[in-house]
A and B are shown apart, each in its own frame.
Chain A
Amino acid sequence: MEYNKKVMNLFNHPKNVGEVVGASGVGQVGNPVCGDVMRISIKVKDDRIIDIKFKTMGCVAAIATSSMVTEMVKGKTIKYALKVTNLDVAKELGGLPLIKMHCSNLAADALKEAVKDYQSRKVKIDK
């Protein structure tokens, strides 16, 4: 598989690997196509993602997109994070091989799940 330099670089030196301690929300999704799995945990303060980490079992593309999505939304608002799509992530990476596009779904979906989890916890607390 031929990946671009940016993808390879992130795969080799991924940012934000791990689990956020005392997370405000956690999202885990599996890729139905290949069975790979990604988990994102976030810490939110004043509607902003102040910390975010990932753990991924997946291919080169999955690990690179995981890393990229965490960087894209760190410090950003919840509203912004919810708008990030897999295409945005792939674009930011300078493109992915066509058959690897589905791998980028993992990252965007896991982020959404993490935000949803945060929001549902918040509702409970607010009540």
Chain B
Amino acid sequence: MEVYLDNGASTKTDIKVVKAMNPYFTKYYGNASSAHSFGLAARKAVEKSRSIISKKIGAEPNELIFTSGGTESDNAAIIGAALANIDKGNHIISSNIEHPAVMNTLKYLESKGFKVSYLNVDSDGLVNIKELESAITNKTILITIMHANNEIGSVQDIQKIGRIARSRGVLFHTDSVQSFTKEEIDVKKQFIDLASFSSHKIHGPKGVGAMFIRKGVNILPLLHGGGHEFNKRAGTENVSGIVGFAKAVELSNEKYNTIMRRLRDYAINNILKIKNSRLNGSFEKRLVNNINVSFKGIEGEAVLSRLDNAGIMVSTGSACSSKSLELSHVLKAINVPSDYIQGSIRVTLSRFTSKKEIDYFINVLQKVVKELSEMSPYGV
């Protein structure tokens, strides 16, 4: 049995998405900037996709541009906003649990002379709104705080953050890669100026994403070239990818979120019955598909590998499996106890995950944790 529980990393492309994309590879393969019929067909598809996705977030079509994914959107939004506002100030506010696409972009800007304040989060992984307010100075030009965290699934109150930013005249960017279609995003209601989205986290194809840029907000482009995407992002449009992304958005549905949430809670309740286990992050303010748990005295990569042997695919926030050996900055930020921090795994569901799969997973997990604990010098 193969059970894929790493949907926070990437998802299965829905077959309906693949079908929607196909004609734009083999039939209407024209450049969306060309004036002939193939070009016009491609243009029409891009613009239709733009209106589907912008509608989903309460934006106007001309407030959304397509990119190569979440990473590019994060880079373009943050660097673009910083460079466009360099005469107003050089201070940026963020959190200490951001995705590397944001974190390392900020590190880059710091190396170029910008100053960044990284807000701490509480044990649920949530920023303190009062701390945010007092971090704003007259040099602050941008607040970038992720909507939902990719490791522990904590969901920030972005409406509150957006309201403060707007009232203080500071731009607000949010990385909505994990939250898109799973949490409500309404750019007007939530006072969002810039936001990042990615297709492959929502059953769309990889390598395509989008960035919301509120009308009137000026950011400098990252990519220079032809006048694509309202002169905000040069490069021939990835037509099939964009069509697939829009199809994936169309296929999303609140009812799937309800099902995922129920399955998630069922899984959490059963995992926590295992001795020496803990849930990392918030019970309530949690992404519908995210589970992050730790087991005392064992190591995440060992758990991951044993699960993989049984066909179950998860990921780990712990040191040993990632390319670097450093502990997860997110788990450190929420103060996971030291004897638990190495034994963490992230389990992320999708709308294709079944109860049968979860039952199988829990069954194998119990066995794996028991075996590894017996092997541990901290043995139970």
Contact = CB atoms under 8 A, between A and B. Distances in A.
B375 A56 contact: yes
Nearest to A30: B377
B302 A12 contact: no
Contacts of A36: 299, 320, 342
A60 B306 CA distance: 9
A37 B305 contact: no
Contact of A35 (B323, B342, B376): B342
Given A1-B321, A99-B325, A58 B302 contact: yes
- Interface-centre pick from B309, B338, B342 (highest chain A CB count, 10 A): B342
Interface string B295-328: 0011101100110010000000001110111010
Q: Size range of the interface on A?
A: 20 to 34
A14 interface: yes
A1 B377 contact: no
A63 interface: yes
A34 B342 contact: yes
Q: Size range of the interface on B?
A: 20 to 34
Interface in B21-79: none
Contacts of A35: 319, 327, 338, 341-342
Given A34-B325, A35-B338, A59 B299 contact: yes
B343 to A, nearest CB: 8
Given A57-B299, A59-B301, A63-B302, A33 B377 contact: no
A56 B309 contact: no
A58 B338 CA distance: 14
Given A1-B301, A36-B320, A55 B376 contact: yes
Contacts of B378: 37, 57
B297 A57 contact: yes
Interface string A27-60: 0100001111111000000000000000111111
B235 interface: no
Contacts of B337: none
B169 interface: no
Given A11-B305, A57-B298, A59-B302, A33 B325 contact: yes
Contacts of A1: 301, 321
Contacts of B320: 34, 36, 58-62, 103
A23 interface: no
A17 B323 CA distance: 28
Nearest to A56: B375
B379 interface: yes
Given A34-B342, A63-B375, A58 B325 contact: no
B377 A60 contact: no
A59 B321 contact: yes
Contacts of B375: 14, 17, 55-57, 63
Nearest to B319: A34
Contact of A28 (B297, B323, B342, B377): B377
Nearest to A28: B377
Nearest to A12: B309
A11 B309 CA distance: 11
A68 B377 CA distance: 17
A17 B375 CA distance: 6
Contacts of A99: 323-325
A102 B325 CA distance: 10
A99 B324 CA distance: 8
A14 B305 CA distance: 14
B327 to A, nearest CB: 8
A57 B302 CA distance: 9
Interface in A68-115: 99, 102-103
Question: Closest 4 interchain pairs by CB?
Answer: A59-B320, A57-B376, A55-B377, A59-B301
7 contacts: A1-B301, A35-B341, A57-B297, A57-B376, A61-B320, A99-B324, A99-B325
Interface of A: 1, 8, 11-12, 14, 17, 28, 33-39, 55-63, 99, 102-103
Given A56-B377, A57-B297, A103-B320, 6 more contacts: A11-B302, A35-B327, A37-B378, A58-B302, A60-B320, A99-B325
